[in-house]
Chains A and B, each alone.
Chain A
Amino acid sequence: MSADAIPVDSTVAPQPTGSTNKPIKTTGLHIGEAEPGCAKVDPILVVDNVRRTFGGLTAVDVDHIEVPRGAITALIGPNGAGKTTLFNLLTGFDKPDAGKWTFEGRSLSGVPAYRVARMGQIRTFQLTKALGLLTVMDNMLLGAKGQSGENLFRALLPFLWRSQEEGNRAKALDLLTRFKLDTKKDDYAASLSGGQRKLLEMARALMSDPTLVMLDEPMAGVNPALTQSLLDHILNLKAEGMTVLFVEHDMHMVRHIADWVIVMAEGKVVAEGDPHEVMRNPAVIDAYLGQHHDEDIGEDSDVENQHVSAVKELLDDER
């Protein structure tokens, strides 16, 4: 498909995603040049002039971003670039100093976090928020939407919500099995390892059948061998018609599954495009990827001898 393709009809069947070994990328997402703030054929999230400062430090200063629907978009950038702050702003966990943004055409400015979640935009957190004092199953059940037993008065009459609960439980078990956490369903989430908690958070996010899934560093702390199946899960989301926006540092993962990449640095969007293009962008390499990113750094030549002598002097001082 070329960049001048006819706008995508949203009733068209979801994109095929292939297997983890050869994901099929969605192309033709943008209109015009692939540059920061470029328009998308079918945007699900449109951000305008959003600014957030923390006492003199500008954390986010975004002119325009459009996130394409039904695709997997990666948000990359150095630490302190404003990625998590942007996430917080978009999901209602933080208030911007200025700006507006829409989700599915509806304005989200000033909408509190819990309502944003109910509208179908679910996020995970950089520092996992698996509720350790609840069991794994309870965590999952909390993620379900529209459980009438969550109303104070209806809670007293179990017959009103029992069958819903059973349905949610079955769905939870299915998700837990997919994420290989089913054997732990009755354990307290605090007893899970760090990586397992990440998986739980992702599984829990899926309980409400969200439209947009926002994952904040989903791979951090996950065993590299498990990464394969996690990527499968994310590709499945796309297959089921969801849109994914994730923050990540693992460039292999990004290159592998992202259809589109947005690069942030110092609060601004500095590049946009498909993964291969973006990773060849010299500005991106300088600020983010590093010159060595595809090489082996085990060679002695990379070591700064100046630093080594500084450490030696310190050690001598001690001994």
Chain B
Amino acid sequence: MTNASPEALPAPLPLRDTVVEVKNVTAGYVTGVNILNSCSLTAYDGELIGIIGPNGAGKSTLLKSIFGQVKVRDGEILLRGKNITNLKANKLVAQGVGFVPQNNNVFPTLTIRENLEMGIFQRPKGLHERLEFVTDIFPELGKRMSQRAGSLSGGERQMVAMSRALMMGPEVLLLDEPSAGLSPVRQDEAFLRVKEINKAGVTTIMVEQNARRCLQICDRGYVLDQGKDAYTGTGRELLNDPKVIGLYLGTLGQD
């Protein structure tokens, strides 16, 4: 048995793996106009990250940059240490990144079942088992698999979009305003589902307009302002931070 030398420090605690790392990313849609200005974000294994902030701050743009839908002009994005900057979305899906968009998130002329099949398009093995798992999570969908997705309400489409992203068994799930346009009870359901998915081990990054709810359920949050990560902290810290309340949460919630 060898003795550690007196000066050696005890072995450090193993850090959690960094799953997604956004390093000083600058990005935009129109040439010459940057929406994100040197924005950074880190998501550790199994975390639920919330991104909030005012309109035009770049929340959706950040998510779309990670998913390869917006051109990153400067900086880099890493997935488990591997550089995925500007990689096309289909390649990212193959690497285990799922994306649930806010609008146009289902194929309206396809049935629910077909929409879910699209989620696993690249690797169709195990389709039936996956469909069963998904309908366990969203039993409301299970009853109407042959209904055309175009005839569903906004909240139901949300569910279909989320299930479709789940079909791939993603490692990382990106959600763009999952509660948008939903009634309060459906919003709460959506947030709980996100929490459940995260608890099962999916690292989740969620952009939200409903800052209060978002911060209640997330592990850590980022507040974006003018394309930069202005504040960060745990969900609870941000919820109670007077600066954040004043600027973003508004006092209405305190009614």
Q: Tell me the A residues contacting B by CB distance below 8 Å.
A: 57, 76-80, 126-127, 191-196, 217, 220-228, 249, 251-253, 255-256, 287-290, 292-293, 296-298, 302-304, 306-315, 317-319
Contact = CB atoms under 8 A, between A and B. Distances in A.
Contacts of B186: 78-79, 290
A120 to B, nearest CB: 28
Given A307-B193, A311-B166, A311-B196, A297 B252 contact: no
Contact of A255 (B126, B217, B255): B255
B153 A225 contact: no
A288 B189 CA distance: 11
Contacts of A314: 130, 133-134, 166-167, 169
A297 B192 CA distance: 8
B169 to A, nearest CB: 3
A154 B115 CA distance: 53
B185 interface: yes
Given A297-B192, A303-B196, A312-B201, 6 more contacts: A249-B182, A252-B252, A303-B195, A304-B192, A314-B167, A314-B169
Interface string B219-236: 000000000000000011
Contacts of A80: 153-156
Contact of B54 (A78, A191, A225): A225
Contacts of B196: 303-304, 307-308, 311
B183 A317 contact: no
B37 interface: no
Contacts of B55: 193-196, 221-223, 226
A307 B200 CA distance: 9
Contacts, number: 159
B139 to A, nearest CB: 10
A224 B208 CA distance: 11
Contacts of A306: 136
12 contacts: A78-B155, A79-B183, A127-B103, A217-B181, A225-B246, A297-B188, A297-B192, A297-B213, A302-B195, A306-B136, A307-B136, A313-B133
B253 interface: yes
A79 B191 CA distance: 16
A313 B235 CA distance: 28
A217 B182 CA distance: 11
Closest 7 CB pairs of A and B: A318-B169, A195-B55, A290-B185, A193-B56, A80-B153, A311-B200, A223-B54
A117 B151 CA distance: 29
Contact of B255 (A127, A249, A252, A313): A252
Contacts of A288: 183-185
Given A79-B186, A311-B133, A319 B54 contact: no
A227 B180 CA distance: 16
Contact of A318 (B136, B168, B211, B248): B168
Nearest to B157: A79
Contacts of B199: 303, 308, 311
A124 B91 CA distance: 40
> Of residues A226, A227, A288, A298, which shows the largest number of chain B Cβ atoms within 10 Å of its Cβ?
A298
Contacts of B53: 223
A256 B252 contact: yes
> Of residues A57, A79, A228, A296, which shows the largest number of chain B Cβ atoms within 10 Å of its Cβ?
A79
A309 B246 CA distance: 39
Contacts of A303: 192, 195-196, 199
Contacts of A191: 30, 33
A267 B249 CA distance: 33
Nearest to A251: B184
B52 to A, nearest CB: 9
Contacts of B193: 307
Contacts of A194: 55-56
Nearest to B181: A220
Contacts of B51: none
A296 B156 CA distance: 24
> Of residues A224, A227, A287, A296, which shows the largest number of chain B Cβ atoms within 10 Å of its Cβ?
A224
B252 A228 contact: yes
A193 B30 CA distance: 13
A310 B169 contact: no
A42 B33 CA distance: 51
A303 B154 CA distance: 23
A258 B119 CA distance: 42
A290 to B, nearest CB: 3
A99 B84 CA distance: 57
Contacts of A195: 54-56
A126 B30 CA distance: 25
B216 A290 contact: no
A226 B200 contact: no
A62 B130 CA distance: 41
A79 B247 contact: no
Contacts of B26: none
B129 interface: yes
